Structure 1
Amino acid sequence: MDGTLLNSQKMISNDSITAIKKAKSLNKQIVLGTGRAVAELREYEEELDDIRYGILESGALIYDFKQKKVLNHKTLPSESVNKIKELVACSDIMVIAMINGQIYLQQSHFDYIYKYKMEDYKALYDRSAILVDDITSLLEKEKDNFEKINLYHHKSEEREESYLKLSHETVTMVKAESTGLEMTAIGVEKGSGLQFLCDYLNIPISESIAVGDADNDESMIRNAGLGIAMGNANKNIENLADFSVNDNDNGGCSQAIYKYLLS
């Protein structure tokens, strides 16, 4: 979604919607591969009506939008959630926690979201998050049920400190945004989600195409039969991909569909 299907105004362009409809009419599957949870996609339901499946929460939750059904999900180990809770309890870190496709956020963090360099997402969280008084209490109460936990810091240097402190946990960690650290169960990434969905749909992964722009897309682009970097992709993704398309403000997503999927 962010940086790929969504433009810089967090909107889906008409050319992308048209390309997705065209692909569906030709019996192709367009799938969302995103770090977002189900709750963060509801405002796009009408525009995404032609997309049935989602690899959500960076691969931790595979979802059927048509049946509103979870096809597969993986949770973080409770021991690692406890370590995250201990870290958060003694640091000023904003937590976005995900359970069954719903996101949870502490009210005080939301009120000062700009401190964590995430003000661009305030309106989204206002519409989609359940706000709680104390996120550490939720981490304790639901420690067996979290699919994904994101930590946002004041500075990128503070993120590096958290990364080191949690580096021995049995989790997959990916750096996102300018201060974010996204965590899922070990081995759970967009690439593993792509593999599950390909198996579920009986499609060889070698016949899949992955399009992305950021480090949390790396495993998906690496595992797919064809990897495509958006024009706004970082250098890591650009170097990893087989081809590049325009950026997210200039039709890159529809270009990938027409040029590489439908041709």
Structure 2
Amino acid sequence: MVQNYKLLCVDLDGTLLTDSKEISQETLEAIRAAKAKDVKVAIATGRALFSALSVGSSFNNDDDHIIASNGAIIKHLALEPLVRENPFSYDQLVRIIDTASEQGLSPVFFSTEQAYTTSTSDFQMYLGFGSGTNNVFNKQSISLIPSTKDLKELIRQEHIKIQKCNIHTLGDGQKRFLHNALKREGEFEMLFSTNPALEITAKGVTKGNGVAVLAEALGIRQQEVIAVGDSENDISMLSYAGLGIAMENAIPAVKNVASYITESNNNNGIARVIRKFIL
């Protein structure tokens, strides 16, 4: 019996987007064809919500969802409130800041609307993320804070909800220290991105859990879900989905859990998935 898939969840960077941070016309047309068959399409990304929304608008369809910050945020493109929001507690943020400071590192924190950092180099890096109209960071969406003390005070006084943290410029020793120190707390999900950066969310917050929550909210069964990705943060959603698919450019660990490997992000891999399994 041919499985009738009802939800397609796709990663952004290295999956839906080409290396030039664009969605190909062929892929856009395939997505529209999938929607014409009443298949729901969701972006599932490690990016913060404000960054992911800039891509979601390309779909030209209000009946879509975004899973942002590795599962901490789930949002219907056209509706409020959020389907789910799972931020850190203030005490958790302080522990992350203090632990990173021991290694001379400054975390980058993400809310639904903005990023915050005390690192000048990270501030400049995010301002240069992408190019031209594809650069979703600007001086309104990322704030350079003078000190960690000021950062703590800003978050506390303004009651800012932070859903995800990235810690950049990690050496091997720093990676081990941070991972082991925060793991002892038992309050965090941690994984390494290809940047390289340590990505941190609250315990239980993963893309896989986000996809599961969205599927349940939509009344879609696990076996009716396709998930496609290329990086470590995609493993949980590929493992959850009825059909987990890796990009040709995916890291080996992602390919190991996938049931199928499609073309690369630069060769319309998502369009191929849609044509093979949905249309």
TM-score, structure 1 length as denominator?
A: 0.89
Over 3 Å counting, the alpha-carbon distance change for 1:241 and 1:65 in structure 2 is same
Give the distance between the partners of 2:153 and 2:220, measured in 1 at CA: 40
Match of residue 151 from structure 2: 138
Over 3 Å counting, the alpha-carbon distance change for 1:186 and 1:62 in structure 2 is same
Q: Give a deviation string over 1:96-147, Cα, whole Å, max 9, x none.
A: 2122343223461345539xxx965584433772213236233454267221
Counterpart among 165, 187, 195 of residue 181 in structure 2: 165
User: In the alignment, does 2:258 pair up with 1:241?
Assistant: yes
Match of residue 151 from structure 1: 167
The answer to whether the Cα contact below 8 Å between 2:106 and 2:119 also exists between their aligned partners in 1 is no
Structure 1 segments unaligned to the other structure (5+ residues): none
User: In the alignment, does 2:59 pair up with 1:48?
Assistant: yes
Q: Which amino acid aligns with 2:214?
A: L
The answer to whether the Cα contact below 8 Å between 1:39 and 1:103 also exists between their aligned partners in 2 is no
The answer to whether the Cα contact below 8 Å between 1:106 and 1:135 also exists between their aligned partners in 2 is yes
Match of residue 10 from structure 1: 21
Aligned residues: 259
Give the distance between the partners of 1:153 and 1:223, measured in 2 at CA: 31
Give the distance between the partners of 2:115 and 2:204, measured in 1 at CA: 22
SS at match of 1:66: coil
Q: Give a deviation string over 1:194-244, Cα, whole Å, max 9, x none.
A: 111011101112210000000100110000111000000000000110000
- What pairs up with 1:1-263 in 2 under 5 angstroms? 1-50=12-61, 52-67=64-79, 69-106=81-118, 108-110=120-122, 113=125, 120=129, 123-126=135-138, 129-134=141-146, 136=148, 137-142=150-155, 145-169=161-185, 170-262=187-279
- Give the percent of matched residue pairs that are identical in Structure 1 and Structure 2: 28
* More deviation, 156-165/217-226: 156-165
Give the distance between the partners of 1:131 and 1:165, measured in 2 at CA: 27
Give the distance between the partners of 1:184 and 1:258, measured in 2 at CA: 34
The answer to whether the Cα contact below 8 Å between 1:107 and 1:132 also exists between their aligned partners in 2 is yes
Structure 2 segments unaligned to the other structure (5+ residues): 1-11
Give the distance between the partners of 2:75 and 2:251, measured in 1 at CA: 28
- Alignment RMSD (CA, Å): 2.4
Over 3 Å counting, the alpha-carbon distance change for 1:140 and 1:216 in structure 2 is farther
Over 3 Å counting, the alpha-carbon distance change for 1:3 and 1:200 in structure 2 is same
Alpha-carbon offset, residue 162 of structure 1: 1.6
Give the distance between the partners of 2:139 and 2:76, measured in 1 at CA: 22
Q: Which amino acid aligns with 2:33?
A: K
Give the distance between the partners of 1:135 and 1:11, measured in 2 at CA: 35
SS at match of 1:8: coil
* Larger RCO, structure (CA 8 Å, separation 6 or more): 2
Alpha-carbon offset, residue 246 of structure 1: 0.3
TM-score, structure 2 length as denominator?
A: 0.84
Alpha-carbon offset, residue 188 of structure 1: 0.8
